[in-house]
Amino acid sequence: MKISVTKDDLASGLQAVQNVVGARSTLPILSNVLLIASAKQLELRATDLEVSVHASVPAEVEREGATSMPAKRLFGLVREIEASEIEIEVSDKEVATVQAGASKYKLNGIGADEYPQQAKFKESGKVKVPQAKLKEMIRKTGYAVSTDESRHVLNGINFVIAPDRLTLVATDGRRLALVEEEIEGGTKAEFIVPNKAVAELQRLLQSSGDVVIRLGDTHVEFTLPQEGGEAIVLHSKLVEGNYPNFKQVIPGEFKERITLGKEELHHALRRADQITSDKANSVKLTFANDNLAITANTPEVGSGRESIAIKYKGPEIEVAFNPTFLMDPLKVLEGDEVFFELTDSLSPGVLKSNTPFLYVLMPMRTH
């Protein structure tokens, strides 16, 4: 294989795929990026066997061929190169010579035939969503996923596709974030995209253009067209198993609906959170007489009280929450107001905004 490619093209191609390569991987070849040179383009692929990302960049191909090279090193090298054109020539022994201006490097690669094959993918349905919309939906739900490896069905975002609607749900069992957007030309499907793929997707999604979601039995593929270039494709295994019935935990009714200033609430919680500890990680919210009092009390640290003026005439409600859980959605929601729906101190509270967003949070028990 012998190619010539601009530094910017190669750097952006590597930038798109290299993040999938883990710092510590079980197979040495997984630290490498696969390079395939064919008819005027260089295809790059990286995988950790669960998630793989493909990108293609324009290149002048003198001799077609394929190889794999250490991803982090190659990316580091290309980023530092000052010349605008880079030439890569790979010998029969899989040694790649990278030449740019006055720099010349030899990198040991591994044969392309040893690179893991992509799993067979049989498309059973597809849907097109604006990239900006999906990015926003992931931002509003992604923080609520579970990272507990003993609950693997929760280690991802649940995508529910209906003909006219796309719903994303994430939960770690104690809180649940749900966001719903209208789409066109959807099918009927439900699948769980693992955390790592979600993080990669969030990194790759742009603020313009569409993303095509192709669904298979065990895999999903996100195709992100690039301006004036080949699309980046993210291919991921799906989380196996059934997502818990999330509709069942969304309270159908509530007793009180309280409007709160988002920033004011967020800042008060951030201050009160300074008083909490590992052992006492709750703040108490008391709604009464047009006032919301937020109190934190940790025996070995101290105590604090915040007071926020609200419109509330109902009976006194006292409810304790993990402040981190309560702050998470406030960080990502737009708009000035949030709405808190409560029933009593033991039932889940629901946080809503002016957008199609819903956050269910289980109170903590206080003694």
Partner 1 sequence: MILRQPSRILHVDGDTFFASCEVALDASLSGRPVWVGGGRRGDGIVIAANRQAKRFGIHTGMACFEAKRACPHGVLARPQYDEYRRLSKAMFEIMEDYSPTLVPMSIDEGFLDLTTMDRHVWRTVTAADYVNGLRARIQDELRLPVSAGLGRSTWMAKLATSAAKPGFVEVPPDCEKEFLADRHVSELAGVGKRRERSLAVLGARTFGDVARLPSTMLKQKFGIWGQQLWLFANGHWNEPLLLEVKDRTTISSSTTLPFDEPDYEAALIFALSESTRMIGQLRREGLQAREMSLVIRFTDFTESGAGHRFDHPQFLNSTINAVLEQLFDETMAGHAEPVRQIRLSFCNLKPLDTQPTLWGTTDAERWGALDSAMQRLESQWGSDAVLTGSQYALRHQDITHANPKSKCPFVPAREMAQKLWGEKLERLSQHHS
Q: List residues binding partner 1 (CB under 8 A).
A: 146-150, 171, 173-176, 244, 249, 278-279, 299-300, 322, 348, 360, 362-365
CA 130 vs. chain centroid, Å, equals: 16
Any idea of the CA torsion for 304, 310, 314, 319, to the nearest 10 degrees? -30
Shortest Cβ distance from residue 356 to partner 1 (Å)? 20
Place of tokens 């030899």: 106
Strand partners, 210: 130
Q: Looking at beta carbons only, is 222 or 340 nearer to partner 1?
A: 340
Shortest Cβ distance from residue 191 to partner 1 (Å)? 21
Tell me how far CA of residue 290 lies from CA of 196, 206, 293, in angstroms: 44, 43, 10
Q: Looking at beta carbons only, is 41 or 282 nearer to partner 1?
A: 282
Written as one letter, the residue type at 314 is: G
Shortest Cβ distance from residue 57 to partner 1 (Å)? 34
Q: Looking at beta carbons only, is 76 or 173 nearer to partner 1?
A: 173
Shortest Cβ distance from residue 7 to partner 1 (Å)? 37
Shortest Cβ distance from residue 253 to partner 1 (Å)? 16
Indicate if the alpha-carbon torsion angle 134, 139, 144, 147 is positive or negative: positive
Q: Looking at beta carbons only, is 119 or 199 nearer to partner 1?
A: 199
Structure tokens at 266: 């967020």
Q: Looking at beta carbons only, is 149 or 316 nearer to partner 1?
A: 149
Separation between Cα atoms, residue 67 and residue 52, nearest integer Å:
17
Q: What are phi and psi of 23, to 5 degrees?
A: -70, -35
Separation between Cα atoms, residue 247 and residue 242, nearest integer Å:
14
Q: What are phi and psi of 201, to 5 degrees?
A: -60, -45
Q: Looking at beta carbons only, is 117 or 248 nearer to partner 1?
A: 248
Shortest Cβ distance from residue 317 to partner 1 (Å)? 17
